[in-house]
């Protein structure tokens, strides 16, 4: 089959736009599409230094490469961030993730920082998983948010971009509908402004499909890790997997299904939920680290985990 824009052989079919594209036209099309999303949702308004969180997977590495181009045009500095979470489980997941992230930062010649949480905070996510009665992904997510915010303050970063794609968002929205968790849904913001001592966060790939970031990374020969985190299966169990499979089946039957679900949620549903359910949290400063914590709490949740892990490790 020929590309819709030239005589070259097509590499990918974009069913929801009814086009088929060759490798170079797909690269151009995706970059323009992401740039339009960034513009439409005013993601870089007021940004001077943009931190990109890179785990080494196809989404975050594609995000880094595309955002570097967009930021260069706008005179915005890019800063790479990778967190070595200490997830090993016989697969060396975190060390591979860091190695790949560094390769990408150096390829693009961007400044970067690697935070090894074992060295910096005295515990790994593998150790927390074994010792703390809390779902591992909740501890991990909390740690990532804390570290990213802390690096932002240290490095003068005013905006942080993460690689969540349309499939991730569609799954989150569907799970929220299924469980009726309106408060959680009201917090699903693709542009979260800086507030309460937290840096602004953006998701430039929120309208980009997983298949598109994968194709982009393969065409551009971007190094990325193929393995998923060994804890992935714990994220939501069978229901979450079934919801994701169901969304993919719906996408096959109705091209653009996930995109419409996510875009309509962003434009029409979330603002209504936000008005009714998004709580304006009052914050105070953690007595240990000085980072924001919920009002009425002396120490932040991350310091609480850190203290617990320190105690556990000192008696073992």
Alpha helices in the chain (DSSP H): 23-40, 58-74, 93-107, 117-121, 125-131, 136-155, 166-179, 182-186, 210-219, 237-253, 257-264, 270-277, 301-315
Judged by CB, which is closer to ligand SF4: 136, or 259? 136
Q: Is 191 in the site for ligand SF4 (CB under 6 A)?
A: no
Q: Is 233 in the site for ligand SF4 (CB under 6 A)?
A: no
User: What is the DSSP secondary structure assignment for residue 229, as one 8-state letter?
Assistant: P
Taking CB under 6 A as the binding criterion, the range among 2-10, 116-124, 174-182, 227-235 that sits at the site for ligand SF4 is: 227-235
Q: Is 278 in the site for ligand SF4 (CB under 6 A)?
A: no
What residue ranges bind Zn ion (CB under 5 A)?
3, 5-6, 8, 22, 25, 286, 288-289, 300, 303
Helix (H) or strand (E) holding 231: none
Judged by CB, which is closer to Zn ion: 142, or 269? 142
Q: Is 247 in the site for ligand SF4 (CB under 6 A)?
A: no
Binding mask 103-122 for ligand SF4 (x = CB under 6 A): --------------------
108 binds, among Zn ion, ligand SF4, none (CB under 5 to 8 A by kind): none
27 binds, among ligand SF4, Zn ion, none (CB under 5 to 8 A by kind): none
232 binds, among Zn ion, ligand SF4, none (CB under 5 to 8 A by kind): ligand SF4
The DSSP annotation for 81-92 comes to EEEE----TTTT
Residue from the set 136, 157, 217, 261 that interacts with ligand SF4 by CB under 6 A = 136
Burial state string for 91-111 with b = 16 or more CB within 10 A and e = fewer than 16: eebbebbbbbbbebbeebebe
Cβ at position 141, least distance to ligand SF4 in Å:
5
Helix (H) or strand (E) holding 235: none
Cβ at position 5, least distance to ligand SF4 in Å:
37
Cβ at position 176, least distance to ligand SF4 in Å:
18
| Secondary structure class of 166 (helix, strand, coil) | helix
| 185 in Cβ contact with 271 (< 8 Å) | no
Interatomic CA distance for residues 85 and 95, integer angstroms: 9
Residue from the set 20, 38, 54, 140 that interacts with ligand SF4 by CB under 6 A = 140
Interatomic CA distance for residues 84 and 135, integer angstroms: 19
For 74, the token pair is: 């706008």
Q: Is 235 in the site for ligand SF4 (CB under 6 A)?
A: yes
Cβ at position 283, least distance to Zn ion in Å:
12
Judged by CB, which is closer to ligand SF4: 125, or 273? 125
Cβ at position 20, least distance to Zn ion in Å:
9
Return the C-alpha torsion angle 144, 146, 150, 156, nearest 10.
70
Q: Which residues bind ligand SF4 (CB under 6 A)?
A: 125, 136-137, 140-141, 229, 231-232, 235
């Amino acid at each position: 089959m020929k590309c819709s824009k030239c005589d070259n052989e097509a590499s990918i079919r974009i069913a929801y736009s009814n086009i088929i594209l060759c490798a170079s036209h797909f690269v151009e099309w995706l970059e323009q599409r992401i740039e339009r999303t960034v513009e439409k949702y005013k993601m870089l308004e007021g940004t001077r230094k943009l931190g990109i969180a890179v785990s080494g997977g196809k989404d975050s590495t594609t995000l880094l490469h595309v955002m570097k181009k967009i930021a260069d045009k706008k005179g915005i500095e890019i800063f790479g961030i990778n967190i070595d979470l200490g997830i090993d489980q016989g697969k060396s997941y975190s060390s591979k993730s860091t190695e790949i992230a560094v390769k990408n930062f150096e390829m693009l010649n961007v400044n970067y920082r690697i935070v090894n949480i074992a060295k910096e905070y005295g515990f790994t996510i593998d150790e927390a998983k074994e010792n703390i009665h809390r779902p591992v992904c909740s501890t991990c997510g909390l740690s990532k948010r804390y570290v990213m915010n802390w690096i932002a303050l240290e490095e003068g970063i005013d905006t942080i971009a993460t690689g969540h794609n349309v499939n991730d968002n569609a799954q989150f929205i569907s799970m929220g509908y299924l469980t009726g968790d309106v408060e959680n849904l009201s917090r699903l913001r693709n542009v979260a402004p800086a507030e309460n001592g937290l840096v602004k966060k953006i998701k430039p790939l929120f309208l980009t499909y997983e298949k598109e970031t994968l194709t982009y990374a393969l065409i551009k020969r971007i190094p990325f890790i193929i393995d998923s985190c060994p804890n992935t299966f714990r994220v939501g169990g069978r229901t979450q997997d079934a919801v994701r499979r169901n969304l993919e089946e719906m996408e096959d039957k109705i091209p653009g299904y996930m995109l419409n679900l996510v875009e309509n949620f962003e434009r029409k549903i979330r603002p209504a939920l936000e008005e009714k359910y998004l709580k304006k949290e009052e914050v105070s400063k953690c007595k240990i680290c000085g980072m924001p914590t919920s009002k009425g709490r002396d120490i932040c949740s991350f310091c609480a985990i850190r203290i617990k892990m320190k105690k556990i490790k000192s008696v073992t």
